[in-house]
Amino acid sequence: MNNFNNAIIECEKENEFLYKFEGNIKFTEDAEEAHGLEIDHVCMRGSSLRNTEWIYGLAIFTGHQTKVMMNSSASRPKFSKIERATNRYIIFGIMIQTILCLIAAIFGTWWNLFWYTEGVSYQEYLLLDHHYTVSLPGPPYAYTEEHHPEKLLTVATLFGTWFLAMMNFVSSSLLVSQEMVKFLQGTLIEFDVTMFDESKDMSAKTQSSNLNEELG
């Protein structure tokens, strides 16, 4: 029986190659003979013993440094063609909404700065404060500004106002309707008599309804 208390293992660094391993082991520090280690001497994480009662082993790589963990990759999300198209349309709609809101905010700021003059009465519900005096010596007109708010702050405020007012520009009910349709399609698949397996006495099971459109 070999004692592993003083054993020294020299091997390659952690990597994701499942069918490659190079190293050697010395049972004592001053031992002259080293025993080679290959992939046949390695038990991967999660391995099960069959036709073998016991083995001697040492943990070389642990945690995220094991070959199995380094070789595993994150699962890729699956999207149907309709979902991809819908996402593109939503992004395109948000871009148009942002451009329109920015144009409206800039125009509104320009309106407040140059069109409102002192002494003109407006309806109170418009909430238009007169912060500007205008002197008109002749074209081009000379404008004199008095304690007016920052232009960028006005543009940002009007942009947020228009963005909230145009929230229905991108219909959120579209996604809800799609999910309802997919749920009903999954329910019909489970109750489809033609998809019933009589030998196993088992009907079709819908694990995910994201790719219903691709079945046809």
- When pLDDT is averaged across residues 21-43 and rounded to a whole number, the result is 83
Q: Spell 99-125 as b/e; 16+ CB within 10 A means b.
A: eebeebbeebbeebeeeeeeeeeeeee
- 14 vs 144 pLDDT, higher one: 14
Under DSSP, is residue 124 helix (H, G, I), strand (E, B) or coil? helix
CB count, 10 Å around CB of 205?
Answer: 9
- When pLDDT is averaged across residues 28-52 and rounded to a whole number, the result is 82
Report CA Rg, the chain. Answer: 36
What is this structure's pTM?
A: 0.50
For 10-43, the DSSP string reads EEPPP-S-TT---EEEESSTT-S--EEE-GGG--
For 115-159, the pLDDT digits (tens) are 554 445 454 555 555 444 444 444 444 444 444 557 788 888 889
